[in-house]
Amino acid sequence: MNITSKKSRLSGSVVVPGSKSHTIRALILATIAEGTSHIKNPLPSADCLSTAAAVPLIGSMVDLNLSTEGEPGTSWTVCGAGSQVHLPDDVINVGNSGSLLYFLAPIAATFDGDTVFTGDDSIRKRPVQHVIDSINQLSDKKSFVTVPGKNGCPMVIRGPIHSGTVKT
């Protein structure tokens, strides 16, 4: 068998399927950034839509570029809060998104005041002690994080935390 290889060029474009974890992270990072961010091909899953509803509570503006049928578009726009990120205006409902809870709780802990997190029945059974322990290590307050039930949500985060080292 003879195989011949020739130098050639490859060109074109590929649309990568949306990723839940990438979309959630992009929304949070765009929220704490200055300026406008465009998220191309986001995954419009329930967790991502929970994040899109939550991040405006700390200062960003999110445009899902809804179609005439009300479906989220293939490019979302986030006007970041940047240095204007603030204590949430309301209770944060994470729905069933553990990622949103795990990423936003430490951000909320940097503000002076209380932040309440809630979610659906499933998120109330998720482990959050690792988040609570990490936040508590950076607080001077004895009851820095309270968990009203046996499990995570609803929970109250009381800030602000200080810089330091967290041991896991």
The string of DSSP codes covering 52-96 is HHHGGGGT-EEE----TTS---SEEEEE--GGG--S-SS-EE-TT
pLDDT in tens, 100-125: 999 999 999 999 999 999 999 999 88
C-alpha to C-alpha distance for 149 and 18, rounded to whole angstroms: 35
This prediction has a pTM of: 0.87
Residue range 28-50: mean pLDDT, rounded: 96
Other Cβ atoms less than 10 A from the Cβ of 90: the count is 10
Confidence of residue 149 (pLDDT cuts 50, 70, 90): low
- Beta-carbon contacts of residue 99 (< 8 Å; ≥ 6 apart): 20, 21, 24, 25, 47, 51
Between 14 and 58, the higher pLDDT residue:
58
Please tell me the predicted confidence (pLDDT) of residue 80.
97
